[in-house]
Structure 1
C-alpha cells in the first residue's frame, strides 16, 4: 500500500519508495493538501449539484412516483440516503474515471473496488466486487450492473500532472517567503583564538545551537566571546506581497482544476459577481452532461429498449439546482402559466412548495390575449374585441 501511495503522491511510476527527510515530507504533504483541496472541492461541488436533482420516473410518458422513484430520491439502500449515495457515486467517478453500482435484493450499492474483465464482442464481467468490508462471492455481467464512465482520460492523473509542473512555482514562492523572514550575518573570528581547543568548542556550540535559537526567536540575546564579532547584514522583512503571490498561485491550481471539470472558477473561489451566469455554465458544461450519463445508463439497464419505447424511463431533472426567488421571479412565473407552458403545480414543484390536490391545479391556462392570425382577422372583420 505504501508503494502505491508514493506513486500517487509523487506522480512517479516504477520506483521503490525511498527515505525522505522531514523537510521533504513536509513539502510532499503540502503538495498533497493543495492538490486535494482543489480536486475534492470540484468533486464536492459536482456531488452537491447532482444530489439536488430530482430523479423523475415515467410510465407511459406520464410522471409517476413508485418504488423506482423512492429508490433514487430517498433511500437507495439501508445504510445510505440518496444524497450520501450520489456523493459516493460522483466521488468514484471523478477519482477513478468509472463507478460500479450493483443491485442486491432491490437495493443499490456503489462498489468500493472490483476487477473488470473487458470483452469487445461480449458482455464485460465484474469480479471481486467489494462494498465496504463485504465482497460478493459471484461474478456480475455488464447487463446486471450499472457501470458509469466519464472520459477516456483519468481526471485525477491529468490534474496531478498539471500540478507537478505548477507546484514548482508554488514551492519557489514559499522558499522566497521563508528567505524574506530570515536573517543573515557575518562572524569575524580571531585567527589566533581559533587554535585554542576551548574556543573551538564554544564556537561550535554557538554555531550549532545558540545562533539557531537566536535567529528563530522573536527576542533573544546572542553570546559573543572574545575574539568573535557578529554583524547582521540583513533583517527580516514582513512584506505582504510574497504571501499574496503564494495565494494567487494556489488559486491558479484551483482554477485549472475547475476548468478540467467544466466548473466556472468563480464558484470555487467565492466570487459573488454574476453568480447566475456562473451557475448556468455549471449546469451546461458539468451537471447536465453528468446527469445525461447517469440517466442513459439507468434507462438502458433498468428499463431496456422495449420499456423505453413504451414511455417508461427515468429523467434526471437539473432545474432544482438553481435557486428560484419567488418575488423576483413572479413576472416570469406569470408568463409561464398564462402561456400554458406549465400548470400551477409545476410551478409549485419548482419552488419547493407542496402541490395542490385539486384538478384545476393540474390544468393549463392560456390568456385571451393569445390567438392565431386567422382568429384575429375574423374577430376584426366581425367587429369583435379580441
Structure 2
C-alpha cells in the first residue's frame, strides 16, 4: 500500500525540487551596487555577494532566504547591530493600515532578539497575496488516491492466488483442521514469499494456482506518470517550466529563457525593489541603488556566441570588458579594453548623406 510517508515524500520532492532550482538560480545572480549612476564595489557589494553574516556565505544565505520565501509565503531579513544580514526563522507580525508593521519575537537559530523591529528596519518580502502551497496540496490529495490505487493494482498483479481443495472426510477430521491452520498461517506465506519453495500437502488436500501474473512494466510506468504529473503541476505553480524539472534536454534553451523571464526576473525585481526602498530610499533618484543581474544564471558557450560577441563589439555597443563580464571572464586592466570600437561599415545617416552629396557634386575632386 502507498503509505502516508511515501505520499509525503512525493509531495516534498516536487516542492523542494522547484524551490532549490529557483534558489540556485538566484544565488548565481550578481548583486550590483551603483553610486551616482556608476557601478562600484564596496561594503554593500561585499555583503550581498560574498559575506552577508559571519556564519554564511552569500549563496547559503540566499538559499535559506528563497527557501523560507516559498515554504512560508514570506521571508523576513533583519540587520543586526554590527551590520550582519540574518534570515529570521520565526517571528510575530503586527499589521497596521497607516502605520509601519511591527515585528516581535524575531528568532534566528536559538537566538531571540529582545527588541522589536518596524517595517523600515527590516527586509520583508511576501511572495503571493494567497499562499499557493495549500492549493497545490489539495491536488496532491487527489493524486494520492490515484497513486495508492495504482500501487495496489500493481501489487495485486504480482501476488499469488490459489484454491485449496479439501476432501470431505478430511474436512471433518480435527487433526486435518489443525494441519490446515498451520499451513494457512505459516506455510502458504513462506511459500508465496520465497523465490524457491516446496508446499507440503496432506492426503485429502489439493492446491491449484489461479494467479495470472503479468510482468510487464505497465504498472510501474503508470505510477511513474502520475508522480510526474505531481511534479508538473507543482512546477507550474512556481512558474518553473516542467521540462526543466524533468530534466528533458530537448528544448531546454527555450525552457530556460521562459524560466528566467517568468520566474527569476520577476522574483529578482521584487527583491531589488525591497532592498532599494529600505536601504537606499529616495537616493535611487540620484543614481544610488542595487541591481540584481540575472544574466549570470544562463551558461554561456563561447563558441556558440562568438558571432554575437563580434557584432556587439564591432557595433560599438559594448567594450571588450563589458563582454568579458557577460561571459564570466576576468577584466583586462588595460585602457584599450575599456574603449569602444566600431567598424568602418557603420556610420550615421548624416555622414552617409554627406558622402553621397559629395559624390554627386560635380565641383568635387
Q: TM-score, normalised to structure 1's length?
A: 0.90
C-alpha deviation, 1:135, in angstroms: 1.0
Given candidates 57, 61, 68, the residue that maps to 1:92 is 68
Report whether the alignment pairs 1:118 with 2:88.
Answer: no
C-alpha deviation, 1:98, in angstroms: 0.3
Report whether the alignment pairs 1:63 with 2:29.
Answer: no
Given candidates 19, 24, 37, the residue that maps to 1:48 is 24
C-alpha deviation, 1:85, in angstroms: 0.5
C-alpha deviation, 1:236, in angstroms: 2.6
The corresponding residue for 1:245 is 222
SS in 2 for 1:146: strand
Report whether the alignment pairs 1:134 with 2:111.
Answer: yes
The corresponding residue for 2:162 is 185
| Further displaced range: 296-305 or 225-234 | 225-234
Give the Cα–Cα distance (whole angstroms) in 1 for the partners of residues 46 and 58 of structure 2: 9
SS in 2 for 1:230: strand
Is the Cα–Cα contact under 8 Å of residues 326 and 351 in structure 1 kept in the other structure?
yes
Aligned pairs (5 A) from 1:347-366: 347-366=323-342
SS in 1 for 2:296: coil
Give the Cα–Cα distance (whole angstroms) in 2 for the partners of residues 198 and 134 of structure 1: 72
Given candidates 257, 272, 289, the residue that maps to 2:266 is 289
Gaps of 5+ in 1: 1-22
Is the Cα–Cα contact under 8 Å of residues 102 and 108 in structure 1 kept in the other structure?
yes
Runs of 4+ in 1 over 3 A off after TM superposition: none
The corresponding residue for 2:178 is 201
| Further displaced range: 219-228 or 271-280 | 219-228
C-alpha deviation, 1:137, in angstroms: 1.1
Which deviations, in whole Å up to 9, do the C-alpha atoms of 1:35-90 show, x marking residues without a partner? 11111000010011001100000001100000000000001111100110011011
The corresponding residue for 2:363 is none
C-alpha deviation, 1:238, in angstroms: 1.1
The corresponding residue for 1:83 is 59
Is the Cα–Cα contact under 8 Å of residues 336 and 342 in structure 1 kept in the other structure?
yes
SS in 2 for 1:383: helix
The corresponding residue for 1:367 is 343
How many residues are matched? 359
Is the Cα–Cα contact under 8 Å of residues 95 and 155 in structure 1 kept in the other structure?
no
The corresponding residue for 1:376 is 352
SS in 1 for 2:359: coil
Given candidates 310, 317, 322, the residue that maps to 2:286 is 310
The corresponding residue for 2:153 is 176
Is the Cα–Cα contact under 8 Å of residues 93 and 99 in structure 1 kept in the other structure?
yes
Report whether the alignment pairs 1:29 with 2:5.
Answer: yes
| Further displaced range: 193-202 or 328-337 | 193-202
Aligned pairs (5 A) from 1:156-171: 156-171=133-148
Give the Cα–Cα distance (whole angstroms) in 2 for the partners of residues 27 and 47 of structure 1: 30
C-alpha deviation, 1:195, in angstroms: 3.1
C-alpha deviation, 1:228, in angstroms: 1.7
Is the Cα–Cα contact under 8 Å of residues 185 and 232 in structure 1 kept in the other structure?
yes
| Further displaced range: 337-346 or 31-40 | 337-346
C-alpha deviation, 1:155, in angstroms: 2.6
Report whether the alignment pairs 1:326 with 2:302.
Answer: yes
C-alpha deviation, 1:365, in angstroms: 2.4
Is the Cα–Cα contact under 8 Å of residues 263 and 282 in structure 1 kept in the other structure?
yes
The corresponding residue for 2:206 is 229
Is the Cα–Cα contact under 8 Å of residues 76 and 108 in structure 1 kept in the other structure?
yes
Give the Cα–Cα distance (whole angstroms) in 1 for the partners of residues 96 and 177 of structure 2: 75
